A and B are shown apart, each in its own frame.
Chain A
Amino acid sequence: MSNDFFILMRSELGIMLIIFFLLFLKVWDGITENKKILQIANVLLLVNFMLGFILNANGELFNGMFHTTNLINFEKIILNFGTLIISLQAYDWLKNHKHVIEFYILLLTTLLGMFFMLSSGNFLMFYLGLELASIPLAALVNFDLEKIKSSEAAVKMILSSAFASCIMLFGISMLYGTTGTLTFVELPHLITGGSLQVLSLIFVFTGFAFKLSAVPFHLWTADVYEGSPVAVTSYLSVISKAAMVFVFISILNPLFENMQLMWYNMLFLTIVLTITIGNLFAIRQQNIKRFLAFSSISQVGFILLGISSNSTMGVTASIYFLIVYIFSNLGAFSVIAIVSNETGKENINDYKGFYKTNKFLGWVMALSLFSLAGVPPTAGFFGKMFLVTAGASKGNYILIIIAALNMVVSLYYYLRIVKAMFVDENKEPITKVTGSTSVQIAIIICMAGVILTGFASVLYDYINSLM
């Protein structure tokens, strides 16, 4: 038992140790230099990331409250990896910030919440993880303390998050009322599709759709993304989305196995709306963070498309796409972080003529956007292809026609930014910006990922073998 405890929960324990270590640093007040703290945090995250690969074990703890499998372990590794890159990319912003340690404590707390959520074997545990993952996020959103927009975003975030949790809890309570249990192992057999259970499915689904910012529950996303600091925006749009998708795959999909048809129809409607409306709104955006917010809504639609196939192929495709998405989205956000930090510019029009002054960053941004648009030779092409392939496996051709046409629309708005950077003239272009070594490392990792993960099928095969 005791050995299992340390092995099975090593990711969670690792994060907890880091949190306590940072708290200790804060109280001790020995290291005052921000740069040192940042370096320590990055190294610790790296160690925890590598720790994930050794000592693989499946099993459960606390009477099934906590369980882990190879797949869940891999999902945690992905989240940890993404957080590491975001931490690298936030270096420039945080090195002059007064509350670095608090930032990391809050950030890692949400990560811990996500880990518990993924490993949960029971709705209670799940809910605990969910709240742990969302409440500190609101504080993070408000981390540019003097900005009014940030505070507004934080309030929006906490209110909508609480609302979503309420709805989900209501749904869960109905499930408990009809089945008398909350464990994920027992529930699928007891769910028979009675009318109260249909209602609970709708409520739980709605709660999730809120957190995933799927249409029609997406309206909080854009304001929150725009108001938050760049690092938090990227965390929200990548890590917290990824965690939700993983939960979708590992918990919700098996849970409502007996209500397949209804589950699929709800997904179908959500996918069509999410992809289309996300795209249409993205076209009209002027602020680059808002723009990425809407484009990420449409990406979520594509991920749901993969999930809707409810097969190994779909799950593999979704996880694979999420990794590619982490690389491409964080690549774009790294550039935005550098520019925003050094010049304060966040408007798409400011990026006109960007390529003339910043060749390397121009290509990084362009490659990331092409990857998000799903254009080869970037990895995004493979990710999108596999998602659409999985979506087609059910023979619902209307869905893939809509998805394929939406890829054209999304290409339009991504190309618009590429055009602004490469072609348009600008009297006051963004001056030459470089960013610190730390951000450059993040960019290089992202670009390597964007270019290589597609050609090398190793990653896809590995995910497939975890199933």
Chain B
Amino acid sequence: MTNLTILILFPLITAIAVLFCRNSAQIRWTALAGSAIQLILASLLMHSYYAERAAGNVSQMLFESRTSWYSALNIEYYIGVDGISVIMIMMTAFVVLSGILISWKIESLTKEFFFLLLLLSVGAYGFFISLDLFTMFFFLEVAVIPKFLLIAIWGSGKKEYSAMKLALMLMGGSALVLVGLLVTYFKTDIGNGVHTFDLIKISHQHIPLETQKLIFPFLFVGFGVFTALFPFHTWVPDGHSSAPTAASMFLAGISMKLGGYGCLRVATYLMPEGAQYYSSVIVLLATIAIIYGAFATLMQKDLKYINAYSSVSHCGFILLGIGMLTKTAIIGAVLQMVSHGVMTALFFGAIGMIYDRTHTREVEKLGGLLKTIPFVASVYIIAGLCSLGLPGFSGFVSEMTIFMGAWQRPDAFHRIATILACASIVVTAVYILRAAGKAVMGPITNSQYNELTDATWTEKSASVLLTFAVLSIGLAPFWLIDLITPDTQLIMENLARGVLGN
């Protein structure tokens, strides 16, 4: 499994195959088979990555391949993976497969729905494997059309408003990224005045401090919009709550991680001095997002809004981890990306299952679901416990790592930020337990709920799949940490080279 292009070609072929299917059963099975094989491919990739590293291959990126694309501008289709991208790909494959399983019952415009879902996943896979900034940007934007259409057509509530808001805010983020990338491009010189978009080459170039100070905010805020950086988080609650279940899973699970990955891989890695210069601003904004997200969640009465606002808070941890600029914190941030990806997908999956049956997401109207639909209700509780950071689940591991890393910064400012972020866990516990207690436990509030049927086999498999991911990260985090430590080390070395070095 050394040809990475197959990771984007395969979902693309699946998507095109879906277009040629004749009835909705065929469409569903094609999409399911395609994404299942994609999960196998991702596992194979992870396996061969381990094997390669165990064999002593120490190069920064593995399975690299390089094809000249627009040679006049020195744009290349340059791909390769390191540990961080491998686990992001793995996470994406999990979420995509379970998203397809969850949407088994989509009836209207089935073909378009699965086609767009698969196209969205192509964008994510492509983004995680590309090492050329232009290619990366291309894949970042590929997802715009599917996101907009998925929410606007199959969504609920004020779907048109949410879809437009999401598309425009994300496009605004990309516009900032674009400016940042172009300025970076014209500041590079790999001989004879030739510029480059090559991520690795740029990381060896010395971009002047002034430029870094100018450009870092563009790149970081641009990618930050994707990952709900305060105050650009407002698309998250509307977008997530209006989207159909699978799209919510994709958006929160995969799409928001593109931003975190970009903040780390592009902004922080390429602009080490810029990152140091703005570190306190990032920490400040991230802490606000964490606290604000947690308290805003307290006020929500709709299950999807609860999870959407808590996503703002949880993604704040990713940015906090990156902003702290210590090795442990950055490892924690990567873990949090993966953990939040699968956890929130599970959460939205459970909410979708509840909504499909009860046709309401209001906490007040729900109740006693554990008695009538025990499987769905348990899934919701598992996701909730993971979200509030119960040991044994993935949330605990990643948040704990971030706090440990953050505590390594001894000054008062960072300490206060860390303490505040830790304190938000209590608020998280309040809203999660309250929602679970009211909606899932307790007496049955509506007699119609007695007739509800429990999860179908597709919903069960999706839940089991994601629960497996959540638990394996929670119980054996050292696998992932071993995988990403060398790459984090490289990012740290680049940071230490900066003149502002700590």
In the complex, A375 has a CB within 8 A of chain B: yes
Nearest Cβ distance between residue A324 and chain B, in whole angstroms?
14
Indicate if the CB atoms of A404 and B176 lie closer than 8 Å: yes
A397–B176 Cα distance when bound, in Å, is 12
Q: How far is the CB of A422 from chain B (nearest CB, A)?
A: 6
Q: Are B72 and A313 in contact (CB under 8 A)?
A: yes
Q: Is A385 an interface residue (CB 8 A)?
A: yes
User: Are B185 and A389 neighbours in the complex by a CB distance under 8 Å?
Assistant: yes
Name the segment of B82-90, B160-168, B376-384 touching the other chain: B160-168
Query: B73, B148, B175: which contacts A389 (Cβ < 8 A)?
Result: B73
For the residues of A in contact with B, the DSSP-based class is helix
CA separation between A405 and B169, bound complex, in Å? 11
> Contact flags (1/0) for B137-162 with A, using CB distance below 8 Å?
11101101100110011000001100
A422 is contacted by which of B153, B167, B168, B186 (Cβ under 8 Å)?
A: B153
What secondary structure prevails in chain B residues at the interface with A? Answer: helix
Is A385 a contact partner of B71 (Cβ separation < 8 A)? Answer: no
**Cross-chain contact of A407 among B71, B139, B175, B182 (Cβ < 8 A):** B175
Chain B interface residue count, Cβ-Cβ cutoff 8 angstroms: 33
0/1 per residue, A393-416, Cβ < 8 Å to B? 101010011001101100110011
B183 at the interface (CB under 8 A from A): yes
Check if A460 is an interface residue, CB within 8 A of chain B: yes
Q: A385-B134, A415-B164 are in contact. Are A401 and B179 (CB under 8 A)?
A: yes
Q: B478 at the A/B interface (Cβ < 8 Å)?
A: no
A464 touches B72 (CB 8 A): yes
Question: Given contacts A376-B142, A397-B183, is CB(A415)–CB(B153) below 8 Å?
Answer: no
**What distance in Å separates the Cβ of B445 from its nearest Cβ neighbour in chain A?**
34
CB distance from A71 to the nearest CB of B (A): 15
Closest to A401 in B: B179
Chain B residue at minimum C-beta to C-beta distance from A389: B182
A-chain residues with CB within 8 Å of residue B175 when the two chains form the complex: 404-405, 407-408
- Say whether A377 contacts B167, CB under 8 Å: no
Q: A4: CB under 8 A from chain B?
A: no
* Size of the chain A interface, CB-CB below 8 angstroms: 33
Q: What CA separation (Å) do A401 and B177 show in the bound complex? A: 10
Docked Cα-Cα span, A457 to B171, in Å, equals 25
Cβ-based interface call for A461 (8 A)? yes
Asked if A423 is at the interface of the complex by the 8 Å CB criterion, the answer is yes
- Tell me the A42-76 residues at the B interface (CB within 8 Å): none
Residues of A within 8 Å of B392, CB to CB, are none
Pairwise interchain contact B73-A313, C-beta atoms closer than 8 A = yes
State whether A457 touches B142 (Cβ < 8 A). no
Bound: A150/B178 CA distance, A: 42
Minimum distance in angstroms from B149 CB to a CB of chain A: 6
List the B side residues contacting A375 at CB < 8 Å.
141, 144-145
Between-chain CB contacts (< 8 Å), 7 pairs: A376-B142, A401-B179, A411-B168, A419-B160, A423-B160, A457-B71, A461-B72
Chain B residues with a Cβ under 8 A of chain A: 69-73, 134, 137-139, 141-142, 144-145, 148-149, 152-153, 159-160, 163-164, 167-168, 171-172, 175-176, 178-179, 182-183, 185-186
In the A-B complex, list the 9 residue pairs whose CB atoms are closest, starting with the nearest: A404-B175, A392-B182, A464-B72, A408-B171, A423-B152, A457-B70, A376-B141, A408-B172, A376-B142
